[in-house]
Amino acid sequence: MQSEHLISDASLGDGSKPKYQSIADELARAIQVGQLAPGEKLPPQRQLAERLLVTTGTISRAYAALERSGLVTARVGDGTFVRTQEEARVPQGGEDAVGPLDLAFNVAIAGDEVQALSDALMQLTGDADMLRQVMSYQPEAGLWRHREAGAQWLRRFGTTGNGNRVMVTYGAQHGLACVLRTLARPGDTVLTEPLSYPGLQALAGSLRLQLVGVDSDEEGMLPGALERAAKTFDAKLMYCTPSLHNPTVSTMSMRRREEIAAVALRCGLLVIEDSVPAAMQASPLPALSTLLPRQSFLLASFSKVTAPGLRVGYLETSPEWLSKFAAYMRNDCWMAAPLMPEIATRWLQTGAMDHLISQQRQLVGERLAIARSALSGLDFRSADHHPLVWLRLPEPWRAGQFSNAARQAGVLIRTADHFAVGRAPAPHAVRISLNAVHSMAALERGLGTITGLISGPRLASLEA
């Protein structure tokens, strides 16, 4: 179990505070930086007590402290688990009155998706032929009508709109798994930004791939650094998020995309491009993959613009590559179950998808206005229609220290460590998600706590 190795005898401190509190603080830090994932089980109390040479009562008090802080939940007869997003969420009407304010998770704001789902299901109920079809085996790449609908949607990123280049997946993460499991072998290097998508890091770990962070600036990867890394590590794969990068919110200019594409062509790099955040943009720049049609893989999904439960994604690439990924799909799960893609297709055809995305932009825009006002004067970066804010911390704050202080004050945020690739030091910065709390009032309280910590007496004491 991963959590067993996150604390040691050294975590018990110098006696300046109780042992249980030292253990709780170490586990809290591991949760905040992502070393302990949502839903992960903590070690049994007796087992951890024996390893740390403390009493089970000490561990019990540590776990109780974590539960009071809202980071874990205890299940009778089952154990103690890191809280998931759903467990941390307060039902509508309770308005974040219990537990910490969640400015850590990036999840679509509730809108009209339930009504859109109900409408689509009602339409589907009256279509007996389609009901029979979605209950049958499908081609590995998906039903043709689903592929065509996805291809037309991807045209917003400058693609050709050719259904022969599109495969239906269970979201972008599944598409990424299809690519890596097909193309990479244990020990292979994947080049990426120095701060990168945790889902990529999890897959790389399971496949025993080496991730190498490429020096970047405010537009993303530096072309010269990418070329040097490709030659140094003899790399053939790279992964990037050119638009609305998570967590830094950076977007590559068209010129930078052309420069990166030129390096990929010279070095023979296969480019995996994550376009999920760009779905929020009304007029996104052409995807990097449009400059590399024969050696690129464009990943897209609706998870951040409608609802994460709509597990529908698209993988766009050349037909010769697509046939290889379809073979993986057949071996892995045979096909993407067609009911959800049918719902997404109907949303795309009726205009419901456009409505939901437009609604999400409006809701995010309202929250951005609050955040930009609250954080005025601080070193932060944001982008229109994007629910993430990248906040660089002033001296002498360190990211982990600040995150712990925010958690103790009742606010959850993500540190740069959560996204850091390799062993290079992460910047002292945090990502603030504006879309997980349920109300503007809760958001204002959370942002007020953050700004209060930065300018308050605790900072003065640190400086002293």
Amino acid at 293: P
Percent of the chain with pLDDT over 70: 91
Burial of residue 38 (number of CB atoms within 10 Å: 0-12, 13-18, 19+): middle
Question: Which backbone phi and psi does 4 adopt, to 5 degrees?
Answer: -65, -25
Mean local confidence (pLDDT), 240-266: 97
The tokens describing 102, both together, are 């969640």
Residue-wise pLDDT tens digits, 43-65: 888 888 888 888 877 888 888 88
**Does the pLDDT of residue 369 top 60, yes or no?**
yes
Say if CB 170 and CB 338 are below 8 A apart: no
Rounded Cα distance between 70 and 96, Å, is 12
| Stronger pLDDT, 354 or 3, i.e. the higher one | 354
* Amino acid 322: pLDDT: 92
CATH of 126-350, one of 3.30.70.20, 3.30.200.20, 3.40.640.10, 3.30.470.10: 3.40.640.10
Q: How far apart are the first and last CA of the chain?
A: 41
Alpha-carbon separation of residue 128 from 98, 134, 148, 157, 342 (angstroms): 46, 10, 21, 34, 13
Rounded Cα distance between 87 and 71, Å, is 10
What Rg value do the Cα atoms of the chain yield, rounded?
Answer: 23
DSSP letter at 175 equals: H
Strand partners, 171: none
Helix (H) or strand (E) holding 74: strand 72-75
Q: Domains of the chain: which residue ranges?
A: 2-87, 90-106+354-463, 126-350
The tokens describing 273, both together, are 């491009």
> Would the CA dihedral through 76, 78, 83, 87 be positive or negative?
negative
Residue-wise pLDDT tens digits, 68-114: 777 888 776 678 888 875 555 444 434 444 568 999 989 999 889 99
CATH superfamily entry for domain 90-106+354-463:
Aspartate Aminotransferase, domain 1 (3.90.1150.10)
State pTM to two decimals: 0.79
* Amino acid 14: pLDDT: 58
Residue-wise pLDDT tens digits, 379-438: 999 999 999 999 999 999 999 899 999 999 999 999 999 899 988 789 999 999 999 888
**pLDDT confidence tier of residue 195, bands split at 50, 70 and 90:** very high
Rounded Cα distance between 315 and 325, Å, is 9
**Does the pLDDT of residue 365 top 60, yes or no?**
yes
Mean local confidence (pLDDT), 148-162: 96
Count helices and strands in the chain by DSSP H and E runs = 17, 17
Class of domain 2-87: mainly alpha
